Amino acid sequence: QVQLVESGGGLVQPGGSLRLSCAASGSIFRINNMGWYRQVAGKERELVARVSAGGNIKYADFVKGRFTASRHNAEKTVALQMDSLKPEDTAVYYCMAEVDERLWAPTNTYWGQGTQVTVSS
């Protein structure tokens, strides 16, 4: 089994910044993509940013230029620096990791428990 533990999040005023962090642990041979999704009640979960094992980063159009994702492969962590936050960024943010638990094993997708980000004055 694999566990993803998130930290960060909270309440911030519009224009402010927050940093989310996520650490993976457990039975991990290799992590492929690792990143962040978000979900608003009543809506589907959507991609925020995803980092490949090679360091390629895919951002959602709505966060380009405002959010920065980073990953540390050896520490099995991924972070999301969120600047210039807007009220519409309010959501539960989830860490995601696509994990191979051993050589030749199928890739499984794991999720963190989610952390609330609220942008409000």
Please report which confidence band the pLDDT of residue 64 belongs to, taking 50, 70 and 90 as the band edges. Answer: confident
**How do strand 57-59 and strand 77-82 relate by DSSP bridges?**
unpaired
Over the stretch 105-117, which tens digit does the pLDDT of each residue have?
899 999 999 999 9
Structure tokens at 45: 């979960």
Structure tokens at 14: 């519009």
- 90 CB-contact burial (10 Å; exposed 0-12 / middle 13-18 / buried 19+): middle
Q: What is the mean pLDDT of the chain?
A: 96
**79, 47, 39, 41: which is closest to 63 by C-alpha?**
47
Note whether 10 and 18 are within 8 A (CB). yes
Over the stretch 20-42, which tens digit does the pLDDT of each residue have?
999 999 999 999 999 999 999 99
Over the stretch 69-104, which tens digit does the pLDDT of each residue have?
999 999 999 999 999 999 999 999 999 999 999 998
